[in-house]
Structure 1
């Protein structure tokens, strides 16, 4: 068994450092803004003891964006500082599943918020818009439940897909075999990420 050399563990380039310096403030600013939105909504809930439909959507959207940014930053940080951890069996599957869950929740909540405000401000006299304006507050909890279930479904698919494509071929720790496995993983996972919203 070969001993790991320090240069094998930490192979950080200038490009990686510059990218981390640029990405880190952006990620933390996004996390702070979404945490602020969540805190304001929770403070409002403590005063009123209820949530409006738009507040429910904003709470789900803020939470999913916060955890999406957090997961993405941790993934990039680990891939730069310690990339070998992604060849340990559950780590690629967990990051893929978490990324897909929060990304899908983020996209669906953003779409629901756009549709909600469009329905609320629309001045059409069509019977369908009038029906939606009256019933939208009752529909929102069911839409959010559907959002969470569809995100969970895609999260399970991503975990299973990553497990089958990436980790079944990792039988050797040589750099050549890891490179071939990671290339094959990217080729097979690209359609899954494309269907959810892109990586």
Structure 2
């Protein structure tokens, strides 16, 4: 069996490997077959998969920072001692939450790309006349809010764990 540190590192390594694979496929298609990216499901699927693995890289790195902060830091707080004792049982749930949130981010990017590509159609086509008066940011504001919230949360978790570790070692 793997310990908690190895589980996080294995998940981080796998997500980075698949991120590089999807980036390679995207670069290959854009160089060799640039018109193939304009086929409807290919471009949103590649972007959403690439964003899914990028977001999972971010969240697995943040969970690794939080894990090291909890295992290394020496605080006498009861909640911190409880986290230090229960960290091995928390890590699988933390990894599952990271994957689920990355999946939410990937589907959000797919929806944004799908709406952006469908808005490029002619506004005089059937069923599109009423959408000409709606501003574009009304469509994308909830998606950008979710994406920004995800990046801000992981960034604040990394900064908070680094500051707690510095204060503990000081």
Shift of 1:97: 1.3
Structural mapping, 1:65-104, within 5 Å: 65-104=16-55
Give the Cα separation in 1 of the matches to 2:118 and 2:38: 8
Give the Cα separation in 2 of the matches to 1:72 and 1:170: 28
What residue number does 2:12 align with? 61
Give the Cα separation in 1 of the matches to 2:74 and 2:119: 56
> Does 2:152 align with 1:152?
no
Coordinate RMSD, CA, aligned: 2.5
CA distance 1:108–1:54, change in 2 (3 Å): same
What residue number does 1:163 align with? 114
- Tell me, which stretches of 5 or more residues in structure 1 are unaligned? 1-49, 172-183
Structural mapping, 1:1-199, within 5 Å: 50-169=1-120, 191=144, 195=148
Shift of 1:167: 4.1
CA distance 1:103–1:149, change in 2 (3 Å): same
Give the Cα separation in 2 of the matches to 1:125 and 1:95: 47
Shift of 1:128: 2.4
TM-score if structure 2 supplies the norm length? 0.69
The structure whose RCO (Cα within 8 Å, separation 6+) is larger is 2
Is the CA contact 2:49–2:106 (under 8 Å) kept in the aligned structure 1? Answer: yes
Q: How many correspondences in the alignment?
A: 133
- Tell me, which stretches of 5 or more residues in structure 2 are unaligned? 123-135, 152-170
